[in-house]
Amino acid sequence: MPPRQRRSYSTEYNVEAAHRVIDTGRTIAEVARELGINDGLLSNWVKAERRRIAAAEVVGEKPLDAAERAELQRLRRQVAELEKDNQFLVKASAYFAAMQKNRTGSN
């Protein structure tokens, strides 16, 4: 039997999953079942997020609320998409510059 491949989760996913417990007051087991993840894993994420929130409050920072986290996620996706578009445009402009150079050089 081949070894089971370990799944990895993004930091954003971990934080959002933890906030499903923290913000709603639902149990870790209930949210873990809903997400299809191990409740021990979710428990670790919740503990880490609570520590992060407490540390932010100690230095006087207010943690992000659900709407701000959603906006941050949307903006990160948008930035990633724009970076892909930029990479494509750089490659396309290099291609067309080379084509133009070849065209003027062959005359």
Tokens of 40: 């021990």
Q: How confident is the model at residue 107 (pLDDT cuts 50, 70, 90)?
A: low
CB-count burial class (<10 Å; 0-12, 13-18, 19+) for 103 = exposed
Tokens of 77: 């996706």
What is the CA 92 to chain-centroid distance, rounded? 28
Which numeric CATH code is attached to 7-63?
1.10.10
Are 46 and 22 within 8 A, CB to CB? yes
Q: How confident is the model at residue 102 (pLDDT cuts 50, 70, 90)?
A: confident
Taking the C-alpha atoms of residue 84 and residue 103, their distance in angstroms, rounded to an integer, is 29
Task: Give per-residue pLDDT as tens, 25-71.
Answer: 899 999 999 999 999 999 999 999 999 888 888 888 887 777 887 88
Tokens of 65: 């609320």
